[in-house]
Amino acid sequence: MKVTILGNNSALPAFGRNPTAQVVTIYGEHLLIDCGEGTQVQMQKHGIKWSKLNHIFISHLHGDHYFGLPGLINSMSLLGRQAPVYLYAPAAIMPMMQNILDLADTVLTYPLHFHPLPEGSGMLVETETFKVTCFPVEHRIACHGFLVESKTKGRKLLPVQCRDYEIPRYYYDRLKMGEDYVRKDGTVIKNELLTTEGPEVKKYAYCADTLFTDSFIQYIKDADTIYHETTYLHADAEKAKMRYHSTPIQAAEIAKMAGAKQLLIGHFSSKYRELAPFRDEAMTVFPNTLVAIEGNSYDV
């Protein structure tokens, strides 16, 4: 699993003002989390294929998190998409989306399935390869974070060894589940000769826009990577609290309390001209901290 940052809501000279949006990739499928203005442009720029995007998650209805959604939905239709898209977002977003489509007399070329976020926590989607749950955070308006968990596909086959031992293809799924192969004469071909360990199950927690609170720690416990906003440096902690945002030190405290392996920080206020101080502050509490930079991908 990896996460690609399409924007970090900053206005630094080196990065420009980018949308709040990121893509989680699991076994080649893309999950879009938030969709600020210009997200589709960033997707093209950074090689995110729309054909691999089936699920979109919107944390809350502040413009920098969803103003790019109408354009993206419409563009995929103009390009003739036929595969369904599943949208998980606050309930109020759908009347707005429908009004935009109605005003232009737009009929989408693909099914758009809308699932309103619950008031509290809950399962949003589960497939053979991943599942996504949501949990409430504390922001100025209703807002949710998302926990993305990959699933194992079992052990990884070694094709050359399978051919050398003449393992029939119908048995491959059983090999992935860890079974040995037994020939008709009773000879046992041990599984470890034919497979290796498969990809690890990973947990990625997107904590959205929130003030410093431990109210959602239970949902992100033991995550491999936590993304947490750090809108203000700690000298502006009171301003952060007043505006329902967080600082790097506070984000690091959350990662530490959750027992996370890695912290990814972003959503920087445009008042700051450098990113190094954000990383430096967080690392005093949680050393394994990375700064979310537009276009970069991070292993979860």
- Return the active site residues: 64
C-alpha 239: how far from chain center: 28
Alpha helices in the chain (DSSP H): 39-45, 69-78, 93-103, 159-164, 172-176, 217-220, 237-242, 248-258, 276-283
What six digits make up the tokens of 50? 């729309």
Gap between the Cα atoms of 101 and 105, Å rounded: 6
In the numeric block, the tokens 């440096």 are attached to: 233
Gap between the Cα atoms of 21 and 203, Å rounded: 18
What does the CA dihedral 72, 35, 21, 282 come to, rounded to 10 degrees? 180
What six digits make up the tokens of 16? 């420009």
- Cβ–Cβ under 8 Å, residues 121 and 132: no
Query: Cβ of 13: how many Cβ atoms within 10 Å?
Result: 7
- Cβ–Cβ under 8 Å, residues 286 and 252: yes
Grouping H, G, I as helix, E, B as strand and the rest as coil, residue 113 is strand
Which residues are bridge partners to 113 per DSSP?
Answer: 86
- Which backbone phi and psi does 10 adopt, to 5 degrees? -105, 170
